Amino acid sequence: MEPIIKLENITKSYNLGNINLDILKGINLEINPGSFVSIMGPSGSGKSTLMYLLGCLDIPSTGKIFLDGKDVSNLSENELARVRGKKIGFVFQQFNLLNNLSAMENVMLPMVFQGLSENDRIERAKTLLTSLDMGKRMNHRPGELSGGEQQRIAIARAFANNPEIIIADEPTGNLDSKNGKMIMDILVDFYKKENKTIVIVTHDANVAAYSQELIKIKDGVIESIEKQNKYV
């Protein structure tokens, strides 16, 4: 099986004046299609930087990243945006919803950039929101919704373009334990039904425990990769 994401000898550094800050130091990693992976590490470990590279939000300083067998290491901003729009959906800790749009409009928005007709956008958004028990809240704006409800909208938006990969960055970080569990159960349910590749970036061992594979990162290097035998 060819990995859906493959990283070869990845480094990422930033120049801060006269200081060169090395964040990632020779990362090699393969993520197979249909896997459920967590990347866990403490603050400053490099996990967020790794997430940006996996999500085609940035390019490495050195090394190669392959997405579906295509080298995306040196793509331009516009090329990366096209790849993200077609292949990757994101769920963020801060929800990142547009407050002036309704739940329905927030979910429909990514589909506009992929050229779907208005009718198709409406039907897809309705289906996703209804599946997340948000059918009665479609016309509410984010400010009228709880944190758990806003994250459900964000999940629906992430799945809007039927991407191959979902990347969730601390998806329960702004939620209490009850809503956090609900969001993780939703992601697991989507994973089982949709057979997507899901990558969760977290510092929380309780969140990481939901995954099939646990990748631990510290000081810019991968410490270990552990199989967790979930959902077999």
Q: What is the pLDDT of residues 47-76, one digit of tens each?
A: 999 999 999 999 999 999 999 999 999 899
- Residues 154 and 163: their CA atoms lie apart, in Å, by 14
Higher pLDDT, 63 or 229: 63
What band does 113 get if pLDDT is binned at 50, 70 and 90?
confident
Q: Is residue 232 part of a domain?
A: no
Q: Is residue 118 part of a domain?
A: yes
Beta carbons of 210 and 36 less than 8 angstroms apart: yes
Q: What is the pLDDT of residues 160-204, one digit of tens each?
A: 999 999 999 999 998 999 999 999 999 999 898 888 999 999 999
Q: Is residue 163 part of a domain?
A: yes
CATH number at residue 79: 3.40.50.300
On the question of pLDDT at 121 being above 90, the answer is yes
pLDDT of residue 201: 95
Q: E strands of 93-227, at which residues?
A: 165-169, 197-202, 213-218, 221-227
On the question of pLDDT at 91 being above 70, the answer is yes
Q: What is the pLDDT of residues 9-31, one digit of tens each?
A: 999 999 888 888 999 999 999 99
Beta carbons of 121 and 111 less than 8 angstroms apart: yes
pLDDT of residue 1: 79
Residues ≥6 apart with Cβ < 8 Å to 202: 38, 39, 40, 170, 171, 172, 173, 208
User: Tokens for 57?
Assistant: 């939000």
What's the domain range around 203? 5-227
Beta carbons of 84 and 57 less than 8 angstroms apart: yes
Q: Is residue 181 part of a domain?
A: yes
Q: Is residue 159 part of a domain?
A: yes
Q: Is residue 194 part of a domain?
A: yes
Q: How many domains does the chain fold into?
A: 1
pLDDT of residue 164: 94
Q: E strands of the chain, at which residues?
A: 5-16, 19-31, 36-40, 62-67, 70-71, 88-92, 165-169, 197-202, 213-218, 221-227
95-99, 217-221, 226-230 — which is least confidently predicted?
Answer: 226-230
Q: Is residue 174 part of a domain?
A: yes
